[in-house]
Amino acid sequence: MEGYFEETFLGIWDKRKKINEILDDHNLTREETLYVGDMQHDVDTAHHGGVYSAALLTGYNTLEQLGESDPSIITTNLAVLQKVLLENDMTLPNSTKPHRPIPTVGALIYNPLGQVLMIRTEKWSGKWGIPGGKIEYGESSTSALQREIAEETGLNVSEIEFVLSQDSIESEEFHRPEHFVLLNYTCRTVGETDVTLNEEAQEYRWVTEEEALQLDLNLPTQVLLEAVLSLEHTTSDA
């Protein structure tokens, strides 16, 4: 098989821990890279690296299981994938885009010192933002928020307050075309404030609101932060 690959990587149990290093070492442009695999873990790895993902129905995961990971495209096998790419001038067809907006939750998290948590993720072009994610079926938005924050940061939160909703329609900052309905909140930590990031983020900082504005924020986070500051000024003036 050596003649078919420029380089191979063996003995990697969690591909998410290696994907960004491989992309950077080989100077691969993320918006032009397609990760091909037949497991949910492969799709999750592509998301972690901020690249497109092709899920194949040649492994143990079913169509439903692969669909839950939200790949860019699902095909029966490599031959079908090759045919699709050739027919679309080596680009993914528009039909692979979501047909409905995706509801998500996210929040500015405050610690006892009044600092907010900022995380940096390759999914948003390496920009700084807030923890959050998709709402699962049958789950309330606040329950989804608490679950996502716990999964992504290891933090427990309370005093959840809704601030605003935003549409993010095929943002150039996000690693693939999506239409998100962003439900944005503020909340406060409960108990320990030590942050344990999962594979979705690469860095975190506790900063003041003013310091957060100086970071390279993604647009939805900047809009949320400015809205919160405006509400604070209105309240103090009153």
| pLDDT tens-digit readout, 226-237 | 999 998 877 766
Q: Which residues of 168-207 are buried (b: 16+ CB within 10 A; e: fewer)?
A: beebeebbbbbebbbbbbbbbbeeebebebeebbeebebb
Fold classification of 2-96 (topology level)? Rossmann fold (3.40.50)
Q: What is the pLDDT of residues 21-79, one digit of tens each?
A: 999 898 988 888 999 999 999 999 998 888 899 999 999 898 888 888 888 899 999 99
Fold classification of 102-237 (topology level)? Nucleoside Triphosphate Pyrophosphohydrolase (3.90.79)
Strand partners, 185: 107, 162
Average pLDDT for 192-201: 91
Confidence of residue 98 (pLDDT cuts 50, 70, 90): very low
Is 122 in contact with 30 (CB distance < 8 Å)?
Answer: yes
Q: Which residue has the tokens 């594979």?
A: 199
Task: Please report the pLDDT score of residue 238 as a whole number.
Answer: 58
Sign of CA dihedral 29, 30, 32, 37: positive
Helix axes 16-25, 40-49, angle to 10 degrees: 50
Fold equal for 2-96 and 102-237: no
Domain ranges in the chain?
A: 2-96, 102-237
- Which structure tokens are listed for 235? 């309240």
Q: What is the pLDDT of residues 107-125, one digit of tens each?
A: 999 999 999 999 999 889 9
Average pLDDT for 95-116: 84
Other beta carbons within 10 angstroms of residue 83's beta carbon come to 11
